[in-house]
Chain A
């Protein structure tokens, strides 16, 4: 797989990162060399081997269904650039 200008622009848009011309050239180079390196794994025969989603053999820890009263609004909104009556206020998003 090769990363080209279109792909890098798409990834940048999906990540909400603004790239200028030289930056995108750098990223194309970096990502391609990472992919080339990872692609070496294709040399290994993985037929009949289940994909591994996690290397840990421990089991998913679970919690009981107990709710904690947080009354969090002051703390949660502390870093908000803009707020109103307990709500975050963000630039209008209407699709």
Chain B
């Protein structure tokens, strides 16, 4: 695969690393008992700890610690028995403490890796540097009033896992696949709800460009991207910007950038003079966090089947390709749906590829069009299984099956009901098809002549006519065979 971008003078390679912020799926915040529920009225879920009232002390949420360990295991990473909470100091209106409690030198989780799968069947490992626990800040609204910023502290103190990758990513697509993979692992583990619109999962992107083989160039960091589409757009724009500067003889200033989602451009967020100096130091309010091997083992034993394991199982059990199996395991609801569907009839096991296609192309496009989540699909996994079964035993054609699926989707009926009610069974009876073909040939003598003169394309015309007469129910293969036989006689 060629991952290089053409420049004026030579080719360039992107070097990309991601910092993903994943909100821990917990009831209460990392160091206080306030609720984490999304969408509550402003400042209604703020304890005195979250508001940083004098004398308040943080007490850590045991569950959040366990979720971080669980995620570490899911990322094939080393769990650290000893970790420390530090204060990262900076002033901002939505940070009442004046510092964020984070982990700096001793994170709870160390090095790990995840694998991404390409369409061509190849895979690539992306190394993880670390995962640490930290507090989220509040939310600032800048665009409501020309002279004021409005601050809501409901999010202040919510537990985040920051997952930092090595700069192993080389293209915007890889970045997208990497974050999808992390999202899928988090959702299988149930440690984060993965909701990017609500900000439960967002990423900072570090990017630089270099001549292939050179050492890393100076990087810029694009902050706070909350969709895969924006991540790709931002990377593309930023790489182009850097290449233009370098090719015109300039140099890249290390900078923090913001991405404007309406213009598709990045711009610097802070200038160098004000470069942040966080003055990290261990938080004197919190003791170090010790996790015993026994506790780690206990958490390990609670880990469910993860996307990669499930993917391998699908490949072995159903002889699916690496790519098909990885598409099924991007989200738990997809693999659950597939599992239920394929297990609804013993014969489907040999038609797994057809089941996959009907889920990931036909059903997904109907769901998308109607803006419905798979989990709320009006077509149940069992009913989809039945539809595929009808196709696989040649009772209906694939073409008619599409109409049947649409009908199932809107009426909630089963494939069987629809096929029986509307008499959509495929015609496979040779004699019956022959009769129709004879009729078509008799009605179009001129066309037959032209066909015999060498206009092969007219075969399609005859097929169309015969299909029309059978209301699309003729088995296409039998129809084609008999038609050719008759015409060439």
Contact = CB atoms under 8 A, between A and B. Distances in A.
A64 B27 CA distance: 10
A87 B152 contact: yes
Contacts of A93: 92-93, 140, 142, 149
Given A56-B287, A72-B46, A76-B46, A67 B148 contact: no
B97 interface: no
Q: Which size bracket describes the interface of B in this complex?
A: 35 or more
Contacts of B426: none
A67 B42 contact: no
B91 A16 contact: yes
Contacts of B62: 62-65
B44 interface: yes
B44 A73 contact: yes
A71 interface: yes
Interface of B: 26-28, 33-37, 41-47, 51, 59-65, 84, 89, 91-93, 140-142, 145-153, 258, 269-270, 277, 279, 282, 284, 286-290
B296 to A, nearest CB: 15
Interface string A66-84: 1111111100110000101
A73 B47 contact: no
Contacts of A26: none
Contact of B148 (A60, A64, A73, A91): A91
What is the interface of chain A mostly: helix, strand, loop, or mixed? loop
Contacts of A45: none
Contacts, number: 134
A14 B153 CA distance: 23
Q: Determine chain B's interface SS by DSSP, over half rule.
A: loop
Given A72-B47, A89-B150, A65 B26 contact: yes
A59 B145 CA distance: 47
A61 B264 CA distance: 47
11 contacts: A59-B287, A62-B60, A63-B59, A69-B35, A73-B43, A88-B93, A88-B152, A89-B145, A90-B93, A90-B149, A93-B92
Contact of B27 (A56, A66, A73, A87): A66
B59 A86 contact: no
A58 interface: yes
Nearest to A63: B59
Contacts of A87: 42-43, 141, 150-152
B71 to A, nearest CB: 15
A10 B277 CA distance: 10
A48 interface: no
A86 B27 contact: no
B27 to A, nearest CB: 4
B269 A60 contact: no
B34 A88 contact: no
A53 interface: yes
A62 B269 CA distance: 38
Given A53-B84, A65-B64, A93-B93, A60 B149 contact: no
A60 B151 contact: no
A95 interface: yes
